[in-house]
Structure 1
Amino acid sequence: MEKYLRTYITLMALAACSFFLAPAALADKATVEIGHTKAPVFTTKEKIVFTLKTDYGNLWKHRAPPNAEVPEDIKEFEAPGQLSWTDSKGKHDLPVQVHLRGNTSQVESQCPFPKMTLSFEKDREGDRVSKGTLFEGLKTVGIGTHCGGKPGSSVRFHRVWGGLSPHREALIYKVQELLSIPGFQAAPANFSYIDSKTGKGPVEPQPSGFVVDRPMPGFFLEDIKTFVKNADGKEIRAADARFKDPDKPYIFTSIVNAQRDARAAGSTIEPIDPKDIIRILLFQALARNYDWELRIFPDDIPDSQGLWNFKVVEADGNWIVFPYDYDLAGWVKSDNSPPELPDLADRRFFKPGDVSQVVAEFKEKRPAIEALVDDLAKEDKSGALSIRGQISSFYTALDRKFR
């Protein structure tokens, strides 16, 4: 976020000879930061290698089955571990509990080294052990891992291995924030992993077999519990979700029926702004991410879930809708196929003026997006080159479709 603000302020200064953001930009900034923690890990510029020590063999035995009800012994399993690092404040060793997360990515053939969530316990005085550190105020934080250390990709979904995917995916979260779309904060980092049983780097199961004996790229990611807490809200789930948690309200049916859905659950909310949805749809096309579902009209995709890789949070009389999870995006996989722009012709919801306004925003922010990609090029030239090409073809298609 700090990087974006420096870039944006510079552009504004050149255009208006002012050191202050315009009122509209300030409003966008306030909106996009809803739910954001102030934990320094998401803003620090220090180059840090974090070390996570736990029993990886036991942890990986508790992978959740994909697209199925998760057994309680797996759902509740956490492996004790330790997160260590050295920064300008000194050396830190925090006790943590480690839990696997993800759906199909927990399958060994997809991600031999799956995504994780870290939980910070409380000390004897009742304070969170993360107090006074980069993780100040956090109870939990996600880790996006390298998925698989062996060069190449997974079968079927072609998840990228070899350490190339995490920082590319973290970039997409940064661009999401830049485009004034609410969501999770992400912070690229590097991780060393030590198996507590052997004292050495863990060995990934087949089909990888990679020995993780060197620092690997990854990223920290805000999670939904943190977002909901900081937004002072509650998570809303799709009414037709395949598996339900009795503690969560499952009432979402579609974007246009959001007010009706909320009333049925005893809430009153403002209509969802079509411009917010237009931004999301264009952003997904920009990143070449098609692993999602969002029911906008009641008769859309009736045989599938209303929400997939989307979150809805009710806060302050609004439903905040935002996407997440980009490990299958074209930016990550270097997929240079033509972009699939959304169909925004239905004027029941998508007004021409709203579409024009959002398209103009995307064009205005192109230089800042490309500046973020240039930062990635310092460590991943081939990935940045592919993303640059995808950005170019997106804007060409945007000009043709929305003149």
Structure 2
Amino acid sequence: MTDQPPIRIGRGQPTRLASRTLRDGSTTVAGIVHGRGATISPPDRHAAHAPSPFDDGWGTLGQAPAETRTELAFEAARTIITRNTSPDVGFDRSINAYRGCEHGCIYCYARPTHAWIGLSPGLDFETRLTCKPDAAKLLEQELRRPSYQPRPIALGTNTDPYQPVERTQGLTRAILDVLERFSHPVTIVTKSAGVLRDLDILIALAARNLVRVSLSVTTLDPELARRMEPRAATPARRLEAIRALSAAGVPTTVMAAPMIPALNDSEMEAILAASAEAGARGAAYVLLRLPQEVAPLFEDWIARHYPDRAARVLARIRETRNGALNDSTFGRRYRGQGVYADLLRQRFALACRRLGLNQGRDLPLDCTRFAPPPLPRQDRQLTLF
């Protein structure tokens, strides 16, 4: 982190949430926090000690929490491109200019990463964000290295590049500007209509076969979306974004993800149909996965918001994960296994065939166009000869 003080964003004042300690040492807020997804704050699993709430006699421990405010800190990063060798991931490099995500999606698999910086994957993940203000500068430095070999860079792998804080920070746009100047291929995954702000850059990239945009549409029910993804764009706005991108010639895919048994899985065909009608060319889906602290977060959330079906949802998840709430095995973690998982896979394939999705009309992104632009005269290094 840098010494630059954090800034606070949004209405209200930062508050200490009323809480109680659970058996596993996590804390749970006393009630649902307006505009936030998490209902508990599991402690940092790497920490040697964890705080324990204490009632000092004022009777405030059980009070409902006040509205929380987002806090943004600044991180002095040394590099910006993250690389991976996972065999079931379709990219080998990514950029995340932010840590944490204000969208607050309760199911987000990236929540456990907040424990790496000593914060809770619960409410901290949604309210205590960090950003890398030098992201575009670092990216340009890495792309200019003589040893660099271009491959598509993925945006939106561990945090949404168009979460609300991007409106003021503009880091994603700065990154796209660098990639466009270098003719570097990029893929984007988001659940925000804010992607349309950068339509000018995306059109320029699309004209050279350098970009794919995926919109995550989890449900068409605005009430379910509000509870499950409290600060993300409404389903209707996401479909509008697909329509606008497609009309502008930007190749667009819909991500029906995650599919949650007995909660939104019945909407799969409707999501794919609405997205195809809006102009999406491709589609993908992911079965809900609950790694690390995401499992207790989701368990508490489903019990609070949908107590009538919580047991059925969790039982069906276990059916697809060999009796557990999560299976991190490569090749199985995104699709699950068993009768239900196989049926979901067949439903997806049939719907795509009927709707004309994933018909192979798009060529792989073009890496041959990569060409670092000349440095400004004042930045060029003088030669001895």
TM-score, length basis structure 1: 0.28
TM-score, length basis structure 2: 0.29
